Amino acid sequence: MPTDDLPEAFHVTTDEQLRAVSNLTRHRIMAVLRFEPATITQIAERVGLAKGSSSYHVRLLERAGLVKVVRTRKVRGVTERYYAMAARAIVLPDPGEGGPDVLMRHVVADLEASAVDGRQVRMAHLRLTEEQFAELGARLDALADEYRELSDPSLPDVSLAFALFRPAQRAQAEGDAE
């Protein structure tokens, strides 16, 4: 199923939707469906779940509107459903100051579960003007979009995550200044 047919973004706005995307297993199921439709059996195999668990999580995602059935076929008298993402991207609400960032928690869990030889991780501390900060954010977005367009579903999955942010200002303790 070409992703051209999908809406660009699905905005998570309800508590049910937020609960659905907040679960790491469901996050991983959505990653399986990112490029092509899959059946419950295929999802279960790719995520490493029992079919019953896979079915449960997919039903919750479907009920929340995050995934949908895109085709069905009869196999030995049973209707097999193929699920796909409801949009090309899922947009989460801002967690608010001090709130948990669901996406970054999932990114860290996926990173920790990945093979060490299959990672490239870098952190850079920068000092930027507001204009430079905005320009860097736009360039990172454009680079991610460029490579998303080059993605080939027949190739192995690669995840790209970046966070450009200004760290919270922490008050120095009285003795720290010395």
pLDDT tens per residue, range 20-51: 998 999 999 998 998 889 999 999 999 999 99
Q: Answer whether residue 74 shows pLDDT above 50.
A: yes
Length of the chain: 178
Residue with tokens 């079915």: 55
Percent of the chain with pLDDT over 70: 91
Distance CA 50, CA 44 (A): 6
Point out the least confidently predicted range of 10-19, 30-39, 149-158.
149-158
Q: Answer whether residue 86 shows pLDDT above 50.
A: yes
Q: What pLDDT band is residue 157 in, cutting at 50, 70 and 90?
A: confident
Give the pLDDT confidence score for residue 170 in this predicted structure: 66
Distance CA 82, CA 43 (A): 10
Distance CA 88, CA 8 (A): 5
Hey, what are 88's tokens? 């090309």
To the nearest 10°, report the CA torsion of 56, 57, 59, 61: 170
Distance CA 176, CA 144 (A): 40
Q: What is the pTM of this model?
A: 0.73
Q: What pLDDT band is residue 62 in, cutting at 50, 70 and 90?
A: very high
Q: Answer whether residue 3 shows pLDDT above 50.
A: no
Q: Reduce the DSSP state of residue 107 to 3 states and report it.
A: helix
Give the pLDDT confidence score for residue 173 in this predicted structure: 44
Percent of the chain with pLDDT over 90: 47
Backbone phi, psi, residue 19, to 5° = -60, -40
Hey, what are 158's tokens? 């690669």
Q: Answer whether residue 76 shows pLDDT above 80.
A: yes
The answer to whether residues 32 and 47 touch, using CB atoms and an 8 Å cutoff, is yes
